[in-house]
Structure 1
Amino acid sequence: MRVRLQGIVLTLVALLVFGLGIPLARSIAAGAQQDLFLDRLTDTARFASLAQRPLLDNKPSLIDPDLTRYNEVYGVQVLVVDQDGKLFASSLGPSAARIDLKADRMSGPMHEALAGRRSQPAGVLMPWDSTPLVLAEPVLADGEVHGAVLTVSGTGAERADVLWWWLLLAAGGILAFTLALAVAIPVVRWILRPVHRLDDATGALVASVVSGREAEPVGESGGPPELRQLGRSFDRMAESVSGALAAQRAFVADASHQLRNPLTALKIRLGNLEGHVDDEPAAADLEAARVDAGRLHQILDGLLSMARAEASGGGLDPVTLDEAVAERVADWSVVGEARDVRLVVETSGAGLTVRMPPRGAETILDALLDNALKFTAAGTEIRIAVSREADRVRLSVRDHGPGLRPDELDRARDRFWRSPAHQNVPGSGLGLAIVSEIVAHSDGELELDLPEGGGLRISMVFPVA
């Protein structure tokens, strides 16, 4: 946007410079041409008056000295021709015989004068046009044309003056561009300062809202009044969004916590009924109620974990990833042995440290290992890998279960989403959603892919602490 605004300013300056400079340059050239024309026309008319008597008496010697002296002083050639267009007298003396009176630049004005017409102003004097100025004046006596006087003037000095004026105009145009650029840069920066602040704040708003941190206000930050007002409106909007999301998270956390107490009491009461229900259909209903209560308890635990993950955006603690993996794998290996599933750890280096919310690594590994053990068949293995990639650390958990379809990989992170093929497997559908929240808070990236050999691989990439 800064480039476009500066381009608009410079374009307007260019239109102004060219709109004024070109007509002014043409006016300077036309003025120089007109001054030269009038000066030479006056001299040509004077020589036409002086040439009357010599032409009538056929005595060139009467005007030759005047022509020669004029050529010596002003460097302008003067030719006198009779009414037949033949050379009568010249300021060049004997060398005048080399002048070609039939050339276009000479014959045109000469025939105009012999027809009784005076020369008319020529076009604009251009610095690159070295054609001499030829003027012709009829020599009249008693109303009859007896000959004509031609002056041939060089235009070098006038063209040099025009060129200097044009160079001065070009320098003025360059100076105008420079001044416009010098003024445009700070003005455009002043205009766009609040826009950049809004752009940065918009990008940071999502991360702040997701992580539970307070959004940084845009404030006044300078700029035009309209953009300052827009910044204030954005701050109010960001505050409202942050407040609404914080209230939603607080409600989920409070509701989940409050529901656990009556749910726990309900599970105890259902357990107390065991052995006191003899009717077979009633016993089946009791068992189903216990299963549903357990599932509801699991969902509430997931909601609490999600609320904690969403509210964990305050500070990030350094975590030695390979140590956290080793600790959690040691605990989950007991479950793996009970299900005949081996947990294999691969690390490419010790001491790889990343920054996560408190207990973030344990929550991630517990959710991923729990999912992997649910879907991995007996006699297979789960591979947990930690590796360094430049300034990033990759943590991946790969199982050998049924996996997902390629079109389901993006939806797997949604809350409460479960693949239609896995509806018979217990779970709340919140595991990957919780992992995604924690990874986002840690400035990491979550990736899901289907490796060769089957199963699902979930990878997380974190910046090195």
Structure 2
Amino acid sequence: MRRRVLTVYVTLLVAACLGLALPLCGSIAARGTSDMLLDRINDTARFAGLAEPSVLTGSATSLTGELTAYDQLYGITAVIVDREGSVVAASREGADVAGMDPGHDADRDGELPEAVRTALAGNRMGANTIVYPWQDGPLIVAEPIGRSGEVVGAAVTASPTASLRRSTLAQWCVAWAAVASLMIAGIAAAGPLTRWVLRPIDDLDEATRAVSGGSLDTRVRTAAGPEELRRLGESFNQMADTITSMLERQRTFVAYAGHQVRNPLAALRLRVDSLSRHLTPEGAQQHRLALDEVDRLSRICDSLLTLARTEDAEHSLVWEDVVEVAEDRVVSWAPIAERAGAVLECENTVGMRVRCVEGTLDQALDALIDNALKFGGPGVRITVRAHRTEPGPDGPGHVDVHVVDDGPGLPEAQLEQAARPFWRDGTDGVGGSGLGLSIVVTLLELQGAHLSLRPASPHGIDARIRLPV
């Protein structure tokens, strides 16, 4: 937008300067020509008044002396012609009206220049002639000589225009220098002026970027600027206030729910654990399952509290060994997998360290392994493996953690929706709220990671966690 405003501004500035300079140059040339033309018309009219007797009698001795003195004083050729265009008297020997105008073409225009023909027709020369610096011909002025309303001849003067053209060109240079200075000053002011005009939009852009980056307390200044942008800024601030309020209420609810449930779960686990000495060997397995479910509920509460602390997540990044975390989760879930008749294994050989929010990778793997055990069916094989990609032309390096099962899987269209909150397949009758994967996605986004679900070969689901290095 800044480029467009600058383009429009500079275009209008150049057009305005040219629109000012061109008429000004034309006015300068017309004014100089008009001044010179007025003087020559007066002189030529005086010669026309003096030449009437000479034209009628054919005696031009005294008139020739007058014209010669005028030519010697001002350097202007003067000629008196009769009705047929023949020279009666001239300021210079051999002067004729055809040679007074170098640009005159006798074959095209006739025997006489247009100004002389106009005068012999009884009309006076108009004041619409303009001499421009690129013209090099003289200024021809002709006045009719009349007697009792009858034209008997014409007085013609040919004035050199070199001095007039130099004066006009000098004034044009001054005018163009002034216009160029104005244009340069306007272009120099284009940057600050454009920044001033677009400042409210820049403020709105910065505030939008800050809010999208997580700074929900950022607001737009609405005290100055155009009325339309002030209204837009006020609407943006109201929207930001609404979003902040909604997120704060949601965060408060999640934190309250997670915190309030943790204490009863801790007490419940102690009570269930204390029952172990009263159980028969046949009830020990069910007792262990009950303890596993209590531990699972505790982990869910931890996830809720982590979600509630997302605003401060960037301040609790820690280094974690991906392989170590994966192996630890496989060991923890091994008894549950064994009781479910599943095979859970980890394929990792070399440790890989990443910087992430503490506990998020553990909880993400718990959710993915839990889903694989729950929906993979009897005898499902679950493999957890990790590998690292070095930085290259395609982008920075990353660590991929895969949780792959060979269960029935899901169609690709449903895989794209599986991470949405409260989404469920609804075809297998397995219980659940549909929040597990959406919580994993939110936890991973805290450190710039993401989760993707793809079909496994030949069947099953390949859940990939991509962590930035």
TM-score band w.r.t. shorter chain = 0.7 to 0.9
The answer on whether the counterparts of 2:344 and 2:382 sit within 8 Å (CA) in structure 1 is: yes
The answer on whether the counterparts of 1:333 and 1:342 sit within 8 Å (CA) in structure 2 is: no
2:342 match: 339
Distance 1:325 1:33, change over 3 A: farther
1:110 match: 116
2:28 match: 28
The answer on whether the counterparts of 1:127 and 1:160 sit within 8 Å (CA) in structure 2 is: yes
1:430 match: 435
1:308 match: 306
2:370 match: 370
Give the deviation of 1:416 after TM superposition.
1.8
The CA distance in 1 between the partners of 2:45 and 2:38, in whole Å, is 10
2:420 match: 414
Q: TM-score, normalised by structure 1?
A: 0.75
The answer on whether the counterparts of 1:139 and 1:146 sit within 8 Å (CA) in structure 2 is: yes
Unaligned runs of 5+ in 2: 276-285
1:211 match: none
- Deviation digits for residues 231-257 of structure 1, max 9, x if unmatched? 687557535532432222222332355
* 2:141 is the counterpart of 1:135: yes
- Deviation digits for residues 337-374 of structure 1, max 9, x if unmatched? 75134433487xx55433x2221222222223333444
Match of 1:456 among 435, 446, 461: 461
The CA distance in 1 between the partners of 2:162 and 2:409, in whole Å, is 90
Give the deviation of 1:141 after TM superposition.
4.0
The CA distance in 1 between the partners of 2:349 and 2:86, in whole Å, is 112
The CA distance in 2 between the partners of 1:449 and 1:33, in whole Å, is 87
The CA distance in 1 between the partners of 2:468 and 2:345, in whole Å, is 29
Matches within 5 A, 1:85-104: 85-94=85-94, 96=96, 99=99, 102=106, 104=109
The CA distance in 2 between the partners of 1:462 and 1:127, in whole Å, is 76
2:84 aligned partner, one-letter code:
D
1:244 aligned partner, one-letter code:
M
Q: TM-score, normalised by structure 2?
A: 0.75
The answer on whether the counterparts of 1:252 and 1:304 sit within 8 Å (CA) in structure 2 is: no
Match of 2:243 among 241, 244, 250: 241
The CA distance in 2 between the partners of 1:319 and 1:25, in whole Å, is 76
1:56 match: 56
The answer on whether the counterparts of 1:401 and 1:456 sit within 8 Å (CA) in structure 2 is: yes
Matches within 5 A, 1:323-362: 323-328=323-328, 330-331=330-331, 334=334, 339-345=342-348, 351-354=352-355, 356-362=356-362
Matches within 5 A, 1:125-164: 125-130=131-136, 132-164=138-170
- Deviation digits for residues 41-67 of structure 1, max 9, x if unmatched? 122222323433432332455444544
2:388 aligned partner, one-letter code:
S
The CA distance in 2 between the partners of 1:189 and 1:407, in whole Å, is 48
The CA distance in 2 between the partners of 1:91 and 1:296, in whole Å, is 128
The CA distance in 2 between the partners of 1:117 and 1:460, in whole Å, is 99
Give the deviation of 1:114 after TM superposition.
1.0
Q: What secondary structure, in the 3-state scheme, does the structure 1 residue paired with 2:114 have?
A: helix
Query: Structure 1 stretch 114-123 or stretch 333-342: which is displaced more?
Result: 333-342
Query: Structure 1 stretch 426-435 or stretch 187-196: which is displaced more?
Result: 187-196
The answer on whether the counterparts of 1:201 and 1:216 sit within 8 Å (CA) in structure 2 is: no
Q: What secondary structure, in the 3-state scheme, does the structure 2 residue paired with 1:199 have?
A: helix
The answer on whether the counterparts of 2:330 and 2:344 sit within 8 Å (CA) in structure 1 is: no
- Deviation digits for residues 132-162 of structure 1, max 9, x if unmatched? 4322111234543221122233434333433
1:312 aligned partner, one-letter code:
T
Give the deviation of 1:113 after TM superposition.
0.9
Q: What secondary structure, in the 3-state scheme, does the structure 1 residue paired with 2:310 have?
A: coil
Give the deviation of 1:409 after TM superposition.
3.9
1:415 aligned partner, one-letter code:
P
* 2:218 is the counterpart of 1:217: yes
1:253 match: 255
Distance 1:235 1:83, change over 3 A: closer
* 2:378 is the counterpart of 1:405: no
The CA distance in 2 between the partners of 1:156 and 1:447, in whole Å, is 85
Share of identical aligned residues, percent? Answer: 32
The CA distance in 2 between the partners of 1:93 and 1:193, in whole Å, is 77
1:362 aligned partner, one-letter code:
D
- Deviation digits for residues 164-215 of structure 1, max 9, x if unmatched? 333333333333333334444334424534432332222332442xxxxx63
Distance 1:250 1:119, change over 3 A: same
Match of 1:186 among 192, 208, 215: 192
Unaligned runs of 5+ in 1: 209-213, 273-286
Query: Could you say what the CA RMSD is over the residues aligned between the two structures, in angstroms?
Result: 4.2
- Deviation digits for residues 301-353 of structure 1, max 9, x if unmatched? 64652442242331141324534544445526736675134433487xx5543
1:434 aligned partner, one-letter code:
I
The answer on whether the counterparts of 2:265 and 2:298 sit within 8 Å (CA) in structure 1 is: no
* 2:434 is the counterpart of 1:442: no
- Deviation digits for residues 397-445 of structure 1, max 9, x if unmatched? 2524444333334422211212345x43454322221122122221344
Distance 1:147 1:225, change over 3 A: closer
The answer on whether the counterparts of 1:329 and 1:343 sit within 8 Å (CA) in structure 2 is: no
1:78 match: 78
2:383 aligned partner, one-letter code:
I
The CA distance in 1 between the partners of 2:302 and 2:382, in whole Å, is 30
1:283 match: none
* 2:400 is the counterpart of 1:395: yes
Give the deviation of 1:38 after TM superposition.
0.9
Q: What secondary structure, in the 3-state scheme, does the structure 1 residue paired with 2:41 have?
A: helix
2:283 match: none
1:44 aligned partner, one-letter code:
T
Give the deviation of 1:124 after TM superposition.
4.2
2:386 match: 385
The CA distance in 2 between the partners of 1:65 and 1:398, in whole Å, is 120
Distance 1:379 1:367, change over 3 A: closer
The answer on whether the counterparts of 2:77 and 2:91 sit within 8 Å (CA) in structure 1 is: yes
Query: Structure 1 stretch 195-204 or stretch 6-15: which is displaced more?
Result: 6-15
Distance 1:328 1:169, change over 3 A: farther
The CA distance in 1 between the partners of 2:75 and 2:461, in whole Å, is 99
* 2:186 is the counterpart of 1:172: no
